[in-house]
Amino acid sequence: MGKRNKLIQEQNHDPYFLKAKCSDPAVCEKCGVVFHHGTFEWKETPPANAEYFLCPACKRIESQYEGGIIVLEGEFLYKHKKEILNIIKNTETNERKYRPLERIFDVVDNDRRIAIKTTYEHIARRIGEAVHDACKGELNFHYPEGEKYIRVHWQRND
C-alpha cells in the first residue's frame, strides 16, 4: 500500500510522460513507437532526425508499474478460455492502433482465474467491456486510487 501510494504521488509529477524533456521527434528503442508533434504514433519509418528514447509504456513495463488490472473469474471462463483470450487479444490490437501506449504486459492464468496487467487504465476498461459484451456475466470497475488506476473485475459462474 505504501509503495503504491508513493508511486501515485510520483505519477502526479508525471514521470512517465516526459513530454517536456523528450526530444521531438523521437523513436522508442524498444518498441519502435514514434513521438512526433507531441503525440505517440506507430510509423513505418521514423522521421530522419528522430532521437532514441524509452517510451512511457516501455518504462512502465520495465518497472512493472501497471495502470490497470483485470481479473476474470468463473466456470464460464474455464469453459470458453480460448474465445475469451481471443477477445482480449483483439481488443488490445485495436486499442494499440490508436493509443500506442495502451498495452497488456502481464497475464497470469490459473485455470478459473486470469489476472491481466495493462500499462494504462483505458485499455483495461475496454477489455472488461469487450468480454462483458460478448459473454455477459458481471462486470465491475473500481478506481481504488483515483482515476489513474483501474481494477476491472468480470465473473460468470455458469
Nearer to Zn ion, 58 or 127 (CB): 58
Count of CB atoms within 10 A of residue 7's CB? 16
Q: Measured from the CB atom, is 62 or 75 closer to Zn ion?
A: 62
Q: What share of the chain is helix, strand, coil (3-state, %, to 5)?
A: 35, 25, 35
Cell of residue 51, nine digits: 532521437
- Complex with Zn ion: residue 33 or 116, whichever CB lies closer: 33
Site for Zn ion in 38-67 (CB under 5 A): 55, 58
CB of 74 to Zn ion, least distance (A): 34
Cβ-based nearer residue to Zn ion, 30 or 151: 30
30 binds Zn ion (CB under 5 A): yes
Size of the site for Zn ion (CB under 5 A): 6
Q: Is 36 in the site for Zn ion (CB under 5 A)?
A: no
Among residues 34, 40, 67, which one has the least CA distance to residue 148? 67
Q: Pick the closer one to Zn ion by CB: 30 or 43.
A: 30
Four-point Cα dihedral 58, 64, 69, 70, nearest 10: 80
**In this structure, are residues 96 and 53 in contact, taking their beta carbons and an 8 Å threshold?**
no
DSSP-assigned beta bridge partners for residue 36: 39
Q: Is residue 31 a contact residue for Zn ion (CB under 5 A)?
A: yes
Q: Which helix (H) or strand (E) holds 82?
A: helix 81-98
By the rule CB under 5 A, 22 interacts with Zn ion: no
Q: Which listed range, 23-31, 107-115, 132-140, 143-151, lies at the site for Zn ion (CB under 5 A)?
A: 23-31
The single residue listed with the C-alpha cell 481471443 is: 86
Residues that bind Zn ion (CB under 5 A): 28, 30-31, 33, 55, 58
